């Protein structure tokens, strides 16, 4: 379906963004039809851009995402804890990722999993940054908290953040399962041998990268929960990368 055809569908862009539709008489935006049309086109183009990006990722990475989910399920079943980290916007994604695993999916408390974001403690983050150096801010926490069999998940849009690179090396050396979610071409993260699973969102847009990265870790979470709920390997579940595991 084309973007133009989608716009004509009931409940399409008009339903999501009614202010982009043709303004009514007296509307203060009535004299800006050309601007509104451009914003409308831009909104639709961005929606189709992220849909296509997700489609490319599922075609390339579905099997590895399922395999990674199987590893996550096995690790959690053995008592693992998940440590998530990232910088800037990726730090909030790391916090979201940790909160997903900590939540009791569908109200089932037995599915609440131990997961922590390494940027939550501002006193600790600033102390390590000031006293040791920002490059060590995650590696030091992993050295103190990480146990063999635990899980380390790092997110970056560039893949080049030195503190993530040090964190992955330290986590791998301590026997943690390491998972990276990067953007562009994977950056320096793609060259590390210390990352067990690396998922790269190949887009030049930071906005689309973060949208697709969010989808990846939501699917990892859903597949992991599904595997733990049925007591079987996560690899037998399927997903469309739109966030639906079945």
Where do runs of H (alpha helix) occur along the chain? 3-8, 13-16, 33-77, 89-102, 122-131, 139-145, 162-173, 206-230
Q: Compute the average pLDDT of residues 34-60.
A: 81
Q: Which two tokens stand for residue 120?
A: 């939550």
Average pLDDT in the chain: 84
Segment among 22-31, 120-129, 196-205 with least mean pLDDT:
22-31
Mean pLDDT of 84-110: 87
Q: pLDDT exceeding 90 applies to what percent of the chain?
A: 61
**How far apart (Å, rounded) are the C-alpha atoms in residues 97 and 88?**
14
Give which of 83, 46, 77, 88 is closest to 203, Cα–Cα: 46
What tens digit of pLDDT does each residue of 192-212 get? 999 999 999 998 889 889 998
Q: Where are the alpha helices (DSSP H) in 103-205?
A: 122-131, 139-145, 162-173
Q: Write down the pLDDT at residue 81.
A: 97
Split at pLDDT 50, 70, 90, the class of 53 is: confident
Give me the pLDDT at residue 11, please. Answer: 57
Compute φ and ψ for 83, nearest 5 degrees.
Answer: -115, 120
Q: Is the pLDDT of residue 128 over 50?
A: yes
Characterize 33-45 residue by residue with b for buried, 16 or more Cβ atoms within 10 angstroms of its Cβ, and e for exposed: eeebeeebeebbe
Split at pLDDT 50, 70, 90, the class of 107 is low
Query: CB of 124 within 8 A of CB of 143?
Result: no
Residue 34: pLDDT above 60? yes
pLDDT of residue 214: 94
CATH 3.40.50.10490 domain position(s) in the chain: 62-236
Q: What is the CATH number of domain 62-236?
A: 3.40.50.10490
């Amino acid at each position: 379906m084309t973007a133009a055809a989608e716009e004509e569908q009931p409940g399409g862009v008009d339903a999501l963004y009614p202010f982009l539709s043709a303004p009514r008489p007296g509307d203060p935006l009535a004299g800006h039809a050309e601007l509104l049309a451009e914003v409308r086109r831009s909104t639709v183009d961005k929606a189709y851009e992220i849909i296509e990006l997700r489609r490319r990722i599922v075609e390339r990475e579905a099997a590895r995402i399922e395999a990674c989910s199987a590893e996550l399920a096995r690790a959690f079943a053995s008592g693992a804890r998940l440590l998530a980290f990232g910088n800037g916007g990726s730090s909030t994604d790391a916090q979201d990722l940790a909160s997903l695993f900590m939540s009791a999916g569908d109200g089932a408390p037995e599915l609440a999993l131990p997961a922590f974001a390494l940027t939550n403690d501002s006193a600790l983050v600033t102390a390590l940054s000031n006293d040791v150096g920002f490059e060590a801010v995650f590696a030091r926490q992993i050295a103190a908290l990480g146990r063999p069999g635990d899980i380390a998940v790092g997110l970056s849009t560039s893949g080049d953040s030195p503190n993530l690179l040090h964190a992955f090396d330290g986590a791998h050396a301590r026997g943690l399962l390491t998972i990276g979610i990067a953007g562009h071409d994977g950056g320096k993260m793609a060259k590390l041998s210390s990352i067990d699973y690396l998922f790269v969102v190949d887009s030049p847009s930071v906005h689309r990268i973060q949208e697709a990265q969010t989808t990846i870790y939501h699917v990892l979470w859903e597949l992991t929960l599904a595997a733990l709920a049925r007591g079987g390997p996560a690899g037998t579940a399927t997903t469309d990368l739109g966030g639906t595991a079945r």
